[in-house]
Structure 1
Amino acid sequence: MLQSKKLSKKYQDKRILDDITLEIPQAQVTAFIGANGAGKSTLLGIMSRLITKEDGEVLIDDQDVTKWKSRALAQKLAILKQSNQVSARLTVEDLVAFGRFPYSKGRLTLEDQQKVTQALEYMEITDLKADYIDELSGGQQQRVYIAMIIAQDTEYVLLDEPLNNLDMKHAVQMMKILRRLVDDFGKTIVLVLHDINFASAYADYMVGLKDGRIVAQGSTAEMMTPEQLNIVYDMPLAITEIDSCKYCLYFK
């Protein structure tokens, strides 16, 4: 179980997160939604131990995240940040293989190699495995980083805006893959999304943040109403339904 209790964070004198108490549903896709500056990425960073907290605690399987040994945590939880840069000249396969470091420490076993191959196939980038990362487009690089996370094979996967740099086709493919990781393998996925309709189409649970606080949360069906979304975004929104899925109209 992944949860936070009375979590707070300040930068200088500005409170970024305030009294965040949250339990992430197991084996589901949870989407953090909200305007820029709402605290979504900060919350994700604290839950993964990349950002220090001010007050409160984050628990993974009832143990404070700060108490976990780094290797054990990396076998339990994977995080993909919003911006990723690799200074070394690596091939796609080399980078994906880094996902196995918590297990093999760089000496890949047969099982590690199989996990890398499976991750490349999942992301449909096997044909790129010998290419160098710095020669790929932004969208291709994003898919490679997701493959690395898949190779890491953790119970919890945290993704900060994973659809960045992706065109419509590849964004849909990305969300279908994340959905499949939950449905087929029972992963628990938490991601920051700006597109409310991608959240509606692929997430099970949504958490709305505003000014560093959780202002609404619930199942996707519960959250996809004009009333709930207005609380999160402070603007009038209309909802339509197509093939039993709710979509948000915000162009009026």
Structure 2
Amino acid sequence: MKMENISKKYGTNPILDEIGLNIEKAKFTAFIGPNGAGKSTLLSLISRLLPKEQGLLYIKGQEIESWDSVELAKELSMLKQKVDYQVKLTVEELISFGRYPYSKGRLTAVDYEHINQAISYMELENFRHRPIDQLSGGQLQRVNIAMILAQDTEIILLDEPLNNLDIKQGILMMKTLRRLVDDLYKTVVVVIHDINVASQFVDQMVAFKDGKVYSQGQPHEVMTEPILSSLYDMELTIADIDGKKICLYK
């Protein structure tokens, strides 16, 4: 996935300013940075939920505007930060929505195979017939990921997937996303605020500030005192624990 000179404004307010970026295939990438830096907006542009105003964005070598919507939904999926389900659904029914680009609502044996595989992968067999309004936040997030898995896209975009999760649930979620990359060769991109959690699991970090790419590289390259202190406009210290970089707050 490649971006060249991507820009976006809300009115006269620039949100993204000439973003150039390569997202490596079958890697786990984290977008980090302060609020308002443009991270979530960029995910929405990549998924075509928002139109870009300038620049080029290539998915598998094809500019995103030329993709057919149904075909794009077979290549790229996105889980937004806030998902509010207004209808009463069971776990299996929600996961089956991931097959819509293929089935248009008429599920086939192949669709059910993907649904069952997603349920098994996310260890949701005991919840299959449970209404989603009876799930905890962590359980519902696992179901959301299972729905994305059933969609069977190569690229998975997640906007703050650790929101409303406690520490244990958040770590389990990051381990699951790591497995999607390592076991299923998915390209996973997350917007995340907990840089210490991100640094333990991802392959690449892209730091955004004021609508621009401020820094990018492997976690040990981005997790430095000069970069992070300037990125967040506060004094930070970096510690090395078992070969991993951890940010300490003063």
1:2-47 residue CA offsets vs partner (Å, 9 max, x unmatched): 1211011100111011010101011110100001111100011101
User: What is the SS of the residue equivalent to 2:74?
Assistant: helix
Identity %: 55
Where does residue 152 of structure 1 map in the other structure?
Answer: 151
1:114 aligns with 2:93: no
Cα drift, residue 139 of structure 1: 2.6
Partners of 1:59 and 1:232 in 2: how far apart?
Answer: 28
Q: Which amino acid aligns with 1:77?
A: L
CA contact (8 A) 1:122 1:177 kept: no
Alignment of 1:135-214 (within 5 A): 135-214=134-213
TM-score (norm 2): 0.96
Partners of 1:148 and 1:140 in 2: how far apart?
Answer: 13
1:116-147 residue CA offsets vs partner (Å, 9 max, x unmatched): 12212222222111111223233322221111
User: What is the SS of the residue equivalent to 1:50?
Assistant: coil
Partners of 2:50 and 2:216 in 1: how far apart?
Answer: 23
Q: Which amino acid aligns with 2:175?
A: K
Cα drift, residue 231 of structure 1: 2.9
Structure 1 runs not aligned, ≥5 long:
none
Where does residue 229 of structure 1 map in the other structure?
Answer: 228
Q: Which amino acid aligns with 2:181?
A: V
RMSD value, Cα: 1.2
Which one is further off, 230-239 or 146-155?
Answer: 230-239
User: What is the SS of the residue equivalent to 1:25?
Assistant: coil
Alignment of 1:30-179 (within 5 A): 30-179=29-178
Structure 2 runs not aligned, ≥5 long:
none
Where does residue 240 of structure 1 map in the other structure?
Answer: 239
TM-score (norm 1): 0.96
Partners of 1:126 and 1:46 in 2: how far apart?
Answer: 35
User: What is the SS of the residue equivalent to 2:29?
Assistant: strand
User: What is the SS of the residue equivalent to 2:102?
Assistant: helix
Cα drift, residue 96 of structure 1: 0.3
Cα drift, residue 111 of structure 1: 2.5
Partners of 1:68 and 1:91 in 2: how far apart?
Answer: 32
Length, aligned pairs only: 250
Partners of 1:52 and 1:243 in 2: how far apart?
Answer: 43
